[in-house]
Structure 1
């Protein structure tokens, strides 16, 4: 493929996925806005504590969806359609099973989980209610993520984008209706979020109804090797989301000790705005994945190099621009979520934006790197980058820096961890490009299932 054609495909897939992921990130951002306006600081604190549960659901859906779709794209590019369909079937079965496990946890364990997250008193009741509602909708969240990935890899990124935007717009509308006219409080916010993926799946079903789908369900025998393979390829996506949820939990516990509920409310503002930024880089990664997996399946190594170069350059440029926006408009961004005009909340959140958002100068590169490594069937280095940025580096950093500089140390732990992970990512990429011996070896060591 000519360089201009590669750039055209890259621009097409990435732009659609970035727009769609921004829309998808508005699920929680809309909740944050309307909860802040309707329920004030207590509602914002409860949402900040409960939002980690959404990260675990989202991570599971992305692991199964992205992992299954990656292997599907590789087999499809090699003409192994039966193997591709078996991967799709295994993915659906795993998604349904995982969804019902999360739903059961929501029904029976939402209050104990909320206590573990640091909630108490009135905030405990609000946190548990939000968490229970969102967890009960887990099957829909996970299946929606799965179908988004497969439709995207099946050559229909426009429909995937439309589904993400439709779900997000419905969530915004339902948030307003359920919180204000119907006065359903935090339950209304959670219900609006839970209903959104159902509309998304309805839009995605057009791909199947019009018989455009290359993937089909098949009668299969459970194959642990297939399940392990697709989960390993999506592991970096899971770790990214789980790390986000774990960081939310740890940050909330540390911040509760340093600044109390007002600090958690400030972190809720920073964390939810950061979800939008992360969604942009995730959109680049998800737009990159189908192209990289297809090129990898066809052993087109020059294309792989060009695609990676475009993705890294775009992530760096966007990171600089987004950080400038955070610096220039921090007061206005914080004011959107500060209904009570609390000066302490405003000061904490503004400092958080200026310090925490510096981490995105490295995070964009790390997200693209881990997605690329997964797309070329190298789950181990992808996992290493994700686990480093998500746990190994950031957890010690937040405790150490918080002890030294208080809340400023909490905010700085994120850029510190991302900078360390970016060094590991550079080494992983240098080792990922095939040498002459690898170029002559089979593209995928995994047998068709």
Structure 2
């Protein structure tokens, strides 16, 4: 294991930088599909890709739920010197994900049209949404395993390698998107094929590591344990919800926009949601990058070190939140024009305006994600779940309901800021309470 280096701060940077990059790259998969679809097909097709995003995010969130829960147990076991147990937990996790992936694929393909309509597909969008979701669904196993392996290879002490593999998949995705959408005119189906094949290709690289001589964590025989699965779910629930919150936000926003503004505003939100996913996933990268280190030192009983890692994470979140918000505010018009042609200046102007309102929530989101990730890493599942559920469901839906009732459609764009504020108050209160108990 390469979890202990020259200094704690060096280890922190060594783990979070590759993790942030990896999370950014993961979120770029669907965004790249959107860019090529917008340029190669139509704005309606772009909206269809956005309508389908909760499904893709859902696959990642299931994978992350088990991966983080599994990584926490593995890191704690390694901290205690229980290497064989770590291998058994790792192997069982992969088997469980394979079974879940096959089940999800079958259900989605059987109920494809009702599922697409549930996500918000109108009659205009439905054909494109069915094409995209129907093509992505058979790759569910690739989505789940690639994300899980990415998390576990960091726990194995190789965060840079994880970034290299993820980036390789993203580059392949761009190449395939260009060929299938632009050159071969395969439309949204081609974009889905590009993403699915890219995810599958990366799995081969991960297997090369875990089956090769460098891997510390290895496949091993195991006795199936529901207790381990339940422990994984408890530990990973908050991270899974944090990931799934991106999809839930898209779903709730799509419904609210259709009810209060109209179908054209879905194009604006599609662009906003891509940027939101990248920023929130990057903040998740801070939490995921510190998780193996925090869990490792928690397993060793070195309280000062894992508490210091939390401080590092909060500072990193503060810096990243500020830079992201400023960058998005100043570059709003340029970001919007990546997706939209200049022949619709009214839509561009509206999208830029509401985008600059929405991104104010970035200023607070990082703190909530990092604090929730900290509680996950030390197996305080109740605190972590409360933060994630408040942020992604309770506070968000409440904010949408209240602000749309008072301000109509304009309130939609302010609701994330209110939701993050409510969640931050809760998160800081829980952190203060936990610290008092430790004294």
TM-score range, shorter chain: over 0.9
Q: Which moved more, 1:101-110 or 1:142-151?
A: 101-110
Residue equivalent to 2:307: 305
Q: After superposition, where does 1:271-350 map in structure 2 within 5 Å?
A: 271-339=273-341, 341-350=343-352
Residue equivalent to 1:256: 258
**CA distance in structure 2 between the aligned counterparts of 1:414 and 1:102, rounded to whole angstroms:** 30
Q: 3-state SS of the aligned residue for 2:264?
A: helix
**Are the counterparts in 1 of residues 26 and 170 from structure 2 also a CA contact under 8 Å?**
yes
Q: Choose which of 4, 9, 12 in structure 1 pairs with 2:11.
A: 9
Cα 1:436/1:396, change in 2 over 3 Å: closer
Aligned-residue offset at 1:67: 1.0
Does residue 118 of structure 1 match 2:120?
yes
Q: 3-state SS of the aligned residue for 1:222?
A: coil
**Are the counterparts in 2 of residues 163 and 199 from structure 1 also a CA contact under 8 Å?**
no
Q: TM-score, normalised by structure 1?
A: 0.94
Q: Choose which of 399, 417, 421 in structure 1 pairs with 2:401.
A: 399
Q: Which moved more, 1:383-392 or 1:247-256?
A: 247-256
**CA distance in structure 2 between the aligned counterparts of 1:107 and 1:62, rounded to whole angstroms:** 23
Q: Choose which of 212, 226, 234 in structure 2 pairs with 1:232.
A: 234
Aligned-residue offset at 1:251: 0.8
Q: Choose which of 159, 175, 178 in structure 1 pairs with 2:177.
A: 175
Q: Which moved more, 1:116-125 or 1:146-155?
A: 116-125
Size of the aligned set, in residue pairs, is: 437
**Are the counterparts in 1 of residues 128 and 188 from structure 2 also a CA contact under 8 Å?**
yes
What are the superposed Cα offsets for residues 111-144 of structure 1, whole Å, 9 maximum, x if unpaired? 1111112213241011111112122211011011
> What is the root-mean-square deviation in Å for CA atoms of aligned residues?
1.8
Q: 3-state SS of the aligned residue for 1:261?
A: coil
**CA distance in structure 1 between the aligned counterparts of 2:177 and 2:4, rounded to whole angstroms:** 46
Q: 3-state SS of the aligned residue for 2:261?
A: helix
**CA distance in structure 2 between the aligned counterparts of 1:127 and 1:90, rounded to whole angstroms:** 34
Residue equivalent to 1:444: none
Does residue 211 of structure 1 match 2:222?
no
What are the superposed Cα offsets for residues 147-186 of structure 1, whole Å, 9 maximum, x if unpaired? 1111110111111111111111111111111101110000
Q: Which moved more, 1:28-37 or 1:117-126?
A: 117-126
**Are the counterparts in 1 of residues 139 and 200 from structure 2 also a CA contact under 8 Å?**
no
Q: Which moved more, 1:145-154 or 1:256-265?
A: 256-265
Residue equivalent to 2:243: 241
**CA distance in structure 1 between the aligned counterparts of 2:66 and 2:436, rounded to whole angstroms:** 27
Unaligned runs of 5+ in 1: 438-449
What are the superposed Cα offsets for residues 417-441 of structure 1, whole Å, 9 maximum, x if unpaired? 011111111122223348568xxxx
Cα 1:202/1:50, change in 2 over 3 Å: same
Q: 3-state SS of the aligned residue for 2:7?
A: helix
Residue equivalent to 2:414: 412
**CA distance in structure 2 between the aligned counterparts of 1:246 and 1:129, rounded to whole angstroms:** 21
Residue equivalent to 2:204: 202
**Are the counterparts in 1 of residues 211 and 218 from structure 2 also a CA contact under 8 Å?**
no
